[in-house]
Chain A
Amino acid sequence: MAVTACFAYFFAEPICSFEVSREELPYFILFVAFAAITAWFVRALRGSMSNFSLPTRSQSTSPEQARGGGYGRFGFLPIATALCAGANFAADTLTPTDIVFSSLYAVVVLMAARFCSANGIIRVAVGCVVLTILSHYLSPPEGPQYVGIVNTGIGLAVIGLVTLLALRQKKAEASLREHSGEILKLNNELAKRARELETSNTELESFAYSVSHDLRAPLRHVVGFSELLQKQAASSLDEKSRRYLQTILDSAKRMGNLIDDLLAFSRIGRTETRKTLVSLDQLVKEAVAEIGQDARGRDINWTIDPLPACHGDRSMLKLVMVNLVSNAVKFTNMRARAEIEIGCLDRENEVEVFVRDNGAGFDMQYVDKLFGVFQRLHLPEQFEGTGIGLATVRRIIHRHGGEVRAEGNVDQGATFYFSLPKAQLAAERTAKTP
């Protein structure tokens, strides 16, 4: 729009400067070049103008912006130029035709600024040219030549200024478009990944489902018929055969436990977390009471520090506590007096809960294996278990946005830590997510 204004400015006043003679030839060339510059300009400007008020593609646009019109940041330019053109006319030898032309220029420039589109601007430019030529014939040039030269200079200066502004805008616009293109690409990539994940999740779910159904049935038959055989033929079997039979039974039962644990583990990833405010104190009390039932007859010295409340899924966090406490009880079974300590370290944004025991411990060089599925650092004869408890712990804590770690030494006990975001922070975060 500003360009249109300059255009009007350029042609409005020194009609004398448009004398098509040999001396005036540079002006004529400028005039022709102008049409081209205008068209290029308008494109650049329109782009940058729409960017001022349309930061994202998806936002709704007002009808005015959608037309590419409106006065925008450069709005003062066409108005000022139109006024200048009028003033110039007035300062010049004022004839009735001059008044008509200056009013026409003002109207044309303002209209162009208001409703401009690339095509519209070209039409306006053509209109200006026609008007200028007409005015040339209607009122032959008079007055000093230098006025025309000065005005042309001013016009060129304005053009230069606007060109610079437009170029800056265009550059900004280009980088914005590049960024939004990149974002769009990344978004598409993300959406694709999400779909893939969903598919693989569904597959995993149906896999776990069929494991749950189809793997258990034959196992039950192995156990069932072995027991029936044991009952039926126990008296006629020799010691060795009875031991074989017992091994079949034990192995089948162990496999049953493995399947159950694996299914429980996979269920953690699939079920939704129902987060509430959870009192860790209460949770530890319940877990210790539960495990303590199985550990009757053992001498265990419990040290339980006060724990804060956390934001999380109660049943899942309880599973974490039960797993860690039962591990502590299990791995201290060779101690005459087991020492188990449960406490917490208060950090800036999180609480870190630990369970410490004086049991078998582990070699720190295998610490990475500790939280893996089916990873065990001890022989099954030493400590029973399926090797899935700590994997479950890690999975649950990760789903809560926390971390797990462990410290230990062989035969000197172990400490397991898990961190959880503080209740207040977690609640705020949940509240913010739509």
Chain B
Amino acid sequence: MSELGRILLVEDDPRDVELTLTALADHNLANEVMVARDGEKALDYLYRRGEFSTRSHDNPAVILLDLKLPKVDGLQVLQQIRSEESLKLIPVVVLTSSHEEKDMIRSYKLGVNAYVVKPVDFHEFVNAIKELGFFWALINEPPPGSIKKAP
């Protein structure tokens, strides 16, 4: 619990981003959140391409991934991550509105670490995000090579 892992939040909806960041801020987890607004940006970040070419070599401690994204969708991002040697160990949590069984099954088949359906109720949503952030950024020991920072 001494170090804070970086969270990569892949979410296209600005309102969802704001709600998520608000929820994480309650736990002082918001500072280490990197937001990518589509799948392409997320892959750019992970591969250190384009605007991210200068960032350090470390991977995020967890990726919170929405499924419905412009350009490259969540499942494609997940597939890409799992097929890349340097990225495949990163914990990925799907954070989606979809209750659909086929999305869930496909995500697990692609090797997702957790599948969370965003609750409609705001309190539940805040709690879910808080717990996710708390667990993955603080409690969980990420694989070697992840970005960590003293809180």
Contact = CB atoms under 8 A, between A and B. Distances in A.
A223 B126 CA distance: 12
A365 B119 CA distance: 40
Contact of B68 (A213, A219, A226, A252): A213
Interface stretch (B55-63, B94-102, B107-115, B134-142): B94-102
A56 interface: no
B121 A225 contact: no
* Most chain B beta-carbon contacts within 10 A, residue among A212, A219, A260, A267: A212
A211 to B, nearest CB: 10
Contacts of B47: none
Contacts of B120: 216, 219-220, 223, 252-253, 256, 259-260
B16 A221 contact: yes
A281 interface: no
A407 to B, nearest CB: 35
B19 A220 contact: yes
Interface in A209-255: 209, 212-214, 216-217, 219-221, 223-228, 252-253
Contacts of A267: 101
A221 B99 contact: no
Interface in A125-144: none
B122 A227 contact: yes
Interface in B110-132: 118-123, 125
Given A223-B120, A223-B121, A217 B97 contact: yes
Given A223-B122, A224-B122, A227-B122, A212 B98 contact: yes
A66 interface: no
Contacts of A253: 120-121
B100 A220 contact: no
A213 to B, nearest CB: 5
Given A220-B19, A228-B22, A212 B97 contact: yes
- Prevailing SS type, chain A contact patch: helix
A224 B97 contact: no
Nearest to B16: A217
Interface string B1-42: 000000000000101100100100000000000000000000
Contact of B122 (A212, A216, A220, A260): A220
Interface in A354-395: none
Nearest to A210: B68
A30 to B, nearest CB: 79
Contacts of A226: 122
Contacts of B15: 217, 221, 224-225
A46 B132 CA distance: 80
Contacts of B125: 220, 224
Nearest to B23: A224
Interface in A252-294: 252-253, 256, 259-260, 263, 267, 271
Nearest to B120: A256
A213 B121 contact: no
Contacts of B22: 228
Nearest to A218: B15
A177 B36 CA distance: 68
Interface in B57-104: 68, 96-101
B118 A209 contact: no
Nearest to B97: A216
A224 B19 contact: yes
A142 B99 CA distance: 102
Contacts of A223: 120-122
Sorted from nearest, which 9 A-B pairs have the closest CB atoms?
A: A256-B120, A227-B122, A216-B97, A221-B15, A224-B122, A224-B19, A223-B122, A213-B97, A220-B120
14 contacts: A209-B98, A212-B98, A213-B68, A213-B96, A216-B118, A217-B15, A220-B16, A220-B19, A220-B122, A223-B120, A223-B121, A224-B19, A252-B120, A256-B121
Interface of A: 209, 212-214, 216-217, 219-221, 223-228, 252-253, 256, 259-260, 263, 267, 271
Given A216-B120, A220-B19, A221-B15, 19 more contacts: A212-B100, A213-B68, A213-B97, A213-B98, A214-B97, A216-B118, A217-B13, A217-B16, A220-B97, A220-B119, A220-B120, A221-B16, A221-B19, A224-B19, A227-B122, A228-B122, A253-B121, A256-B120, A263-B99
